């Protein structure tokens, strides 16, 4: 592939070389023929003061060290290291220019970001970007810690994608787009969007949360996984508790004590049939991470449950018996859903500088002060 040059700043004193470009692909497992475990991106940034650093580069950006250092502490650190490594040169100006390299970045996303950092006029900055492109930009912003530089543009892009409102309700199934929104919301501090995307994931996931290699904080992923596990456990444990209550001798029907035995038998049989349809056995309930089971799927199955109808005498002179299985299971789902936490930005590692940059030394402290807001509490 021929190497391309992009002059973000024609008078720039730094060449940023991108090797193995355009590898920021966020693929949902179902989109691949042979799914492989997704891992955190191995994107790297290095520095060099000689021309060897651009060997194999697919694109070189001409940029300003001053602009980069002002916008990004990461760029500043790398540029400082490059200056210390600089070898004396008596040749042309190209060899006097600092050279740093990065790998795998998407060229278009990086070009947009560098343009904003270098003060490109607003009319030259895209008014809208796709969700994919915004995710790629968010990865760059999180990596380089240049949130302040793109804050205005990011808010405009998010509003455009959501229909001119950053508080618009997300109506997505759990999947690739929902997890992209979760990451974008975390990077740019959009709490309402993060809460909605996290709720979609907790309710819709049928296994461990899929991050597609996006650098979503491990504590956030763990919290969502744990909330999903607990909700499923609460519903399944509630079904087991109901079964145990039904097989207890002497159970009295709340509708008509004279038909307690018949009522109990009908409910117990219906419950056994229902849990078998769910693929659950009372003697060997599924365990975490509950592959193939979602909170939304369980609640929908209960809501769609068709009640058995029977009369208290064979002649049919009496009304249909009022006890039904769905009425006994609905409180289980209502309680489980009420216990799912409303996740906010509080208590999680932040993407902006000053917090995540200290993550290694503060991880345990943040875990101790972790808090979530219960749904319904503001």
The answer as to whether 205 is a domain residue is no
SS3 string of 186-234? HHHCCHHHHHHHHHHHHHHCCCCCCCCCCCCCHHHHHHHHHHHHHHHHH
Please state, in angstroms and rounded to a whole number, the distance separating the CA atoms of residues 115 and 288: 46
Q: Is a pLDDT exceeding 80 seen at residue 283? A: no
Please state, in angstroms and rounded to a whole number, the distance separating the CA atoms of residues 215 and 22: 17
- Say if CB 259 and CB 251 are below 8 A apart: no
Whole-number CA gyration radius for the chain? 28
pTM: predicted TM-score of the whole model, two decimal places? 0.83
Q: Taking residues 169-195, report their average pLDDT.
A: 95
The answer as to whether 86 is a domain residue is no
Q: Taking residues 342-356, report their average pLDDT.
A: 81
Residues contacting residue 246 through CB under 8 Å, at least 6 positions apart: 264, 267, 268, 271
CB atoms within 10 A of CB 58: 16
Q: Is a pLDDT exceeding 90 seen at residue 37? A: no
Q: Taking residues 25-45, report their average pLDDT.
A: 54
Please state, in angstroms and rounded to a whole number, the distance separating the CA atoms of residues 128 and 109: 12
The answer as to whether 277 is a domain residue is yes
Q: What are phi and psi of 206, to 5 degrees?
A: -115, 20
The answer as to whether 139 is a domain residue is no
49-92: pLDDT as tens digits: 444 455 557 899 999 999 999 999 999 999 999 999 876 655 55
- Say if CB 199 and CB 340 are below 8 A apart: yes
132-164: pLDDT as tens digits: 999 999 999 999 999 999 999 999 999 999 986
The answer as to whether 184 is a domain residue is no
Q: Is a pLDDT exceeding 70 seen at residue 268? A: yes
Number of domains in the chain: 1
- Cis preceding-peptide flag for 289 (omega within 30 of 0): yes
The answer as to whether 121 is a domain residue is no
- Say if CB 306 and CB 337 are below 8 A apart: no
Question: Picking from 93-97, 176-180, 247-251, which range would have the lowest pLDDT averaged per residue?
Answer: 93-97
Q: DSSP label at 174?
A: S
Question: Picking from 219-233, 262-276, 310-324, which range would have the lowest pLDDT averaged per residue?
Answer: 310-324
Please state, in angstroms and rounded to a whole number, the distance separating the CA atoms of residues 102 and 36: 25
Give percent of the chain with pLDDT exceeding 90. 65
The answer as to whether 126 is a domain residue is no
- Say if CB 308 and CB 274 are below 8 A apart: no
Residue whose entry in the numeric block shows the structure tokens 């207890």:
248
Residues contacting residue 319 through CB under 8 Å, at least 6 positions apart: 311, 312
Please state, in angstroms and rounded to a whole number, the distance separating the CA atoms of residues 343 and 225: 12
Give percent of the chain with pLDDT exceeding 70. 80
**Half-sphere exposure in the Cβ direction for 169 (13 Å, CA):** 1
114-140: pLDDT as tens digits: 999 999 998 899 999 999 999 999 999
Looking at residue 88, its pLDDT comes to 61
The answer as to whether 270 is a domain residue is yes
Q: Taking residues 261-266, report their average pLDDT.
A: 93
Query: Which residues share a beta bridge with 45?
Result: 102
- Domain of residue 242 covers 223-339
Looking at residue 50, its pLDDT comes to 46
Q: Is a pLDDT exceeding 70 seen at residue 368? A: no
Q: DSSP label at 124?
A: G
In this structure, the strands spanning 341-342 and 373-374 are antiparallel
């Amino acid at each position: 592939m021929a190497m391309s040059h992009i002059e973000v700043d024609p008078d720039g004193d730094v060449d940023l070389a991108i090797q193995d470009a355009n590898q920021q692909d966020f693929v949902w497992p179902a989109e691949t023929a042979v799914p492989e475990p997704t891992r955190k991106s191995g994107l790297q940034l290095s520095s060099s003061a000689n021309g060897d650093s651009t060997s194999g580069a697919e694109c070189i950006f001409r940029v300003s060290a001053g602009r980069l250092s002002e916008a990004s502490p990461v760029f500043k650190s790398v540029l400082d290291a490059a200056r210390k490594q600089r070898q004396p040169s008596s040749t042309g100006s190209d060899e006097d220019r600092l050279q740093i390299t990065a790998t795998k970045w998407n060229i278009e996303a990086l070009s947009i970001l560098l343009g904003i950092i270098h003060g490109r006029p607003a009319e030259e900055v895209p008014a809208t970007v796709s969700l994919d492109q915004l995710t790629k930009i968010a990865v760059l912003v999180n990596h380089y810690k240049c949130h302040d530089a793109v804050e205005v543009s990011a808010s405009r892009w998010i509003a455009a994608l959501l229909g001119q409102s950053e508080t618009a309700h997300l109506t997505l199934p759990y999947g690739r787009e929902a997890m992209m929104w979760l990451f974008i919301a975390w990077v740019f501090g959009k709490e309402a969007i993060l809460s909605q995307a996290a709720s979609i994931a907790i309710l819709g996931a049928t296994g461990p949360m899929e991050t597609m290699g996006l650098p979503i904080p491990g504590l956030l992923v763990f919290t969502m996984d744990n909330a999903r596990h607990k909700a499923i456990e609460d519903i399944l444990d509630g079904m087991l508790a109901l079964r145990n209550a039904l097989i207890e001798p002497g159970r009295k029907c709340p509708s008509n004590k004279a038909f307690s035995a018949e009522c109990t038998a009908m409910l117990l049989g219906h419950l056994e049939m229902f849990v078998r349809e769910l693929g659950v056995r009372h003697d060997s309930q599924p365990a975490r991470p509950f592959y193939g089971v979602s909170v939304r799927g369980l609640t929908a199955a209960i809501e769609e449950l068709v009640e058995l109808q029977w009369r208290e005498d064979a002649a049919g002179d009496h009304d249909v018996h009022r006890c039904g299985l769905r009425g006994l299971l609905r409180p289980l789902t209502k309680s489980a859903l009420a216990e799912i936490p409303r996740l906010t930005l509080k208590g999680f590692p932040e993407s902006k500088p000053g917090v995540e940059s200290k993550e290694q030394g503060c991880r345990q402290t943040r875990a101790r002060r972790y808090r979530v807001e219960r749904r319904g509490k503001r």
